[in-house]
Structure 1
Amino acid sequence: MEPTTTIRSYIEDYIRKQGYTLQYFADISGVNAGTLSAIIKGTRPIAMAQLDLITQGMKLEEGYFYEIYGAECFVESAPHWRRLEPFLQRCAELDKLECIHKVIQEVTDDRSYISELFEMAEGMLERGQTKAARMLYECVAECEKYQHSERLALCQYRIFTLSLGQDQHENLRAAVHFEPYINRLDEERQLDAIKDLANTYLALRYWDKLFSLSDELDQKTKILQLYTKKKIDKSERLTAYPLFVYRAYSNLLKSAACEGLGKYEEALYYTGVYTDVVNIHNSNEEDRMYISKFKIWAEANTYVYKLMMGDLSILPAYVDFIEINESEVLPAMTNILEVANKFNQDINEILHKFSVQIYSEIDKLKGYTDQVRSDIYITFLLGQSVYHLNRGQYLEGMNQLLYCLNEAVKINNQKETIHCAALYERYRHISTPDHAQQYKKIMMGVERNYDKKENRLFHLA
């Protein structure tokens, strides 16, 4: 198809080459013959529904004409929202992202559509059309006239959450970019924004930053609770959770930050704080669901912090707890491995006991973001490789180490990539030729990734 070909000329050529009458094509396409005639003559614009029917009647794939339609209706002529809205929606449904990109670049000169584009992005997000929604949010954010508006902040919040993925370096960039916009959000939405930002830093293990954000979340929640006289119904509130959940979670995150810094007594203190926070009366069904979660986390974390402080006598009780709470198997085994490596404990029996659940639960971890889930898995693999290497089980330890290195490289976890590489170099003398070949292959992949980044930075063409 030549770039100068119009949709109506394409339809006209098709009817002529097929030897159809206008009425016959109208019958097989489902478009009125008079309407079809007016479209071909150029006296009537094509509606989206009619374009889809015509495309189907010509036995072409859905969206075949969308690129030309976008150029004809929204680039070469003044766009009208009544036609633009269904076009963008259909493009989102068919994942025609390039068509969306080209059209919104042209229409944003008319700022009167910014509000409609924002509302459309919100609808797309609800329907799970995340890639298309992100394009619209970015467009609105770029064109927002008032740089301190709540709509701009909300766009940046949506872009931040949609940007999060398995690449930890990119997650950090997204977090740093979004943080200045938090205080421009509605006070209720700020709670979810700070929570999401804190979760990102939790996965990145930025403990000091995690603690400060958690404290900010705690303080903002306290203020909202003071000014909220009655319990807000789930359908009316802007927050994803009841207010008490944010206070409890902020203190759970503080305990996690203290654990990461090796301050286990302080971690136990904050565990006690969120245990008290969820000890509420007149709870409803939703409240009780979260209360149960926090009580389980509090019990698990109490075991962990006491173990880290050297109280190994409670290890059997912790194992009993894991058996009852199977969703905690992987995080618990990660902690037990850390304790075993720290205090030189033999946990072969425990590893064997939960060997099946460990590898089957990674995708089923509940209550964790994808980023934190990946971090837990990497930490488990590294802890297990260290455990085997420390105990002279070199083949198993080296296999686990290289698998961990490969997984760390996949998600661009630079800290653990370096940790794994350093550990490999320490034990290089016991590696097999196969291990050496695997290591070389993985590190060549790392080198290629950095070469690509350098090319992106310095390529001017």
Structure 2
Amino acid sequence: MELVPTIRAHIEKYMREQNLKLQHFSDITGINVGTLSAILKGSRPMSMNQLNQITSVMGLEKGYFYESYGVESFIESAPHWRRLEPYLYGCAELGKLDCIQQVITHVTDDRSYIEELFDVAESFFARGLKEAALILYECVADSEKYQHSERLALCQYRIFLLHKTMSKFDNLAAAVQLEPYVAKLDEEIQLDAVKDLANVYNTIHHWDKVYELAEELERKVDFQLELQSRRRKNKERIAFYPIFTYKAYANLLKASVCEARKQYEKALEYTDVYVNVIEISNPTEEEQELIERFKGWAQGNRYLYHLMNGNHEVIEPYLNYLDANPHEILTAFVNIVQAANQHSLDIDSALYRFDPYIKQFNTNMHLKGTYNMQMLNHRYIRFYYELAKYRLNQQRYATGIDTLLTSLELSSSSNDDLMSIKSIDLYGKFRMYVTNQQDEQYTRLIEGLSSQNFGIRIKSV
């Protein structure tokens, strides 16, 4: 087996090639000559700062020696937190995840660093270094001795947040794994965890579970509001949002469940509830911003529920509302076109009016971050599916099939198997009207679906 040169050997070779004496190398690196001598003799460990200084002087990119440093300092030698912590930060900032994984797997054999690793994971999470944070959370969770600890529960919650993907099956598995730990979280953090669980179940249309979690969320909020009325006003909030907004959100979730079940009158009742919840006195700037957001949702949702209930007269005021709230256009038009299909409405004028916005759907021009990405992507798919159905019912077969193929392509690329099946089924009903070019595109999409592991079997229509 060929031995890998040590960092010290690389430095000594560089000094020989550049004909550098120790004092000169000390001068250009800024490292004390005695310290440098001890490092080269192997009698003193090198700090991360010294490693970066030497790497820069040698004309190498930052992080060039990180893998070797990890092996020499933490695997072949006894790890020391004073060097390990800056090493983890350095690797995370440069995206050297393999280095983190290699070192952490070895270090967590000794449980003495579990608490410090968890704190670093929390720091990474707060700074958006998500992949590095995930490695640490998973290692801490695997090594956690006290299986009922709050730290373990928080690790599982962070893992859940970081593991969410565009795959509904993966999200469901992550939700199921998190649920047993929710009750072990801090009581305020439980509000965020239950909300996030409900959002995941919402994306996979598990309406009974969404409603159950909404009720659980409301119970937890009521308890927190009662506590809040008793304790000192300046206590720092742990939950991400003001506490009362979770009660409003719980009723928004219930309204969305009623909408899915076509219980529009009940959905309107829950809308009234969350509008009443947000009526608080002397709101802060943050609270006022959230209050306005809920009021906007309520206004748009009332138009929606009336429209879906067959009240066609609300279309015009609904469109006027969308003019003032362009970030709601995608969500609104999914439902407007669905209502048109359900009640045989002619909405061509509405589609023409908002055509510039509709053309931007699923492009970088569309506002990002307004919705959870899974929910946003699903709305794109649903819009094109409903629009395809609308065009096909109008006997506009060419544009209808093109739009349907867009829906199938999007559902395929995002692993949305349910919408893929619905698109395939609708295509089969109108296959007699497709062109050769459209059928070739459809075949390519089906071949792509067949090569993916959906847990379902795709057949050509």
- Answer yes or no: same fold by TM over 0.5: yes
Aligned residue number for residue 386 of structure 2: 383
Amino acid at match of 1:27: D
Q: Is the Cα contact below 8 Å between 2:381 and 2:411 reproduced in 1?
A: yes
Deviations 1:12-67 (A, max 9, x none): 11211232222333333332332222211111111111111111111111111111
Q: Is the aligned partner of 1:113 residue 2:116? A: no
CA distance in 2, matches of 1:16, 1:160: 52
Q: Is the aligned partner of 1:357 residue 2:357? A: yes
Query: Higher RCO, 1 or 2 (CA under 8 Å, sep at least 6)?
Result: 1
CA distance in 2, matches of 1:129, 1:325: 33
State the secondary structure of the residue aligned to 1:283.
coil
Q: Which moved more, 1:162-171 or 1:309-318?
A: 162-171
Deviations 1:91-146 (A, max 9, x none): 00111000000000000011110000000011111111111011101111110111
Q: Which moved more, 1:380-389 or 1:13-22?
A: 13-22
Q: Is the aligned partner of 1:293 residue 2:293? A: yes
CA distance in 2, matches of 1:405, 1:361: 15
- TM-score in terms of structure 2 length: 0.94
> CA-atom RMSD, angstroms?
2.1
Q: Is the Cα contact below 8 Å between 2:252 and 2:271 reproduced in 1?
A: yes
Q: Alignment identity in percent?
A: 46
Aligned residue number for residue 173 of structure 2: 173
Change (3 A) 1:233 1:366: farther
Change (3 A) 1:101 1:235: farther
| Cα shift at 1:235 | 8.1
Question: How does 1:39-438 map onto structure 2 within 5 Å?
Answer: 39-229=39-229, 236-360=236-360, 363-364=366-367, 367-438=370-441
Amino acid at match of 1:183: A
Amino acid at match of 1:165: T
State the secondary structure of the residue aligned to 1:272.
helix
Amino acid at match of 2:11: I
Deviations 1:136-174 (A, max 9, x none): 011111101111111001001111111113233322221
Change (3 A) 1:275 1:93: same
CA distance in 1, matches of 2:259, 2:72: 60
- TM-score in terms of structure 1 length: 0.94
Q: Is the Cα contact below 8 Å between 1:328 and 1:365 reproduced in 2?
A: no
Change (3 A) 1:287 1:232: farther
Q: Is the Cα contact below 8 Å between 1:169 and 1:413 reproduced in 2?
A: no
Amino acid at match of 2:160: F
Aligned residue number for residue 12 of structure 2: 12
Q: Is the Cα contact below 8 Å between 2:417 and 2:454 reproduced in 1?
A: no
Q: Which moved more, 1:324-333 or 1:13-22?
A: 13-22
Aligned residue number for residue 458 of structure 1: none
Q: Is the Cα contact below 8 Å between 1:182 and 1:193 reproduced in 2?
A: yes
CA distance in 1, matches of 2:43, 2:219: 63
Deviations 1:334-384 (A, max 9, x none): 111011011111111100111112343664166522222112221111111
Change (3 A) 1:137 1:388: same
Q: Is the aligned partner of 1:447 residue 2:457? A: no
Q: Is the Cα contact below 8 Å between 2:203 and 2:374 reproduced in 1?
A: yes
Alignment gaps of 5+ in structure 1: 455-461
CA distance in 1, matches of 2:226, 2:370: 28
CA distance in 1, matches of 2:132, 2:5: 27
CA distance in 1, matches of 2:369, 2:23: 59
Q: Is the Cα contact below 8 Å between 2:52 and 2:63 reproduced in 1?
A: yes
Deviations 1:193-217 (A, max 9, x none): 0111111111222111111111110
CA distance in 2, matches of 1:83, 1:233: 41
Amino acid at match of 1:73: S
Q: How many residues align?
A: 454
Deviations 1:399-426 (A, max 9, x none): 1111111111121111111111111122
Q: Is the Cα contact below 8 Å between 2:415 and 2:454 reproduced in 1?
A: no
CA distance in 2, matches of 1:88, 1:230: 42
Aligned residue number for residue 459 of structure 1: none
State the secondary structure of the residue aligned to 1:31.
coil
Amino acid at match of 2:396: Q
Q: Is the Cα contact below 8 Å between 1:169 and 1:412 reproduced in 2?
A: no
Q: Is the Cα contact below 8 Å between 2:255 and 2:266 reproduced in 1?
A: yes
Amino acid at match of 2:387: Q
CA distance in 2, matches of 1:361, 1:385: 15
Q: Is the Cα contact below 8 Å between 1:74 and 1:107 reproduced in 2?
A: yes
4+ long deviations beyond 3 Å: 230-235, 359-363, 451-454
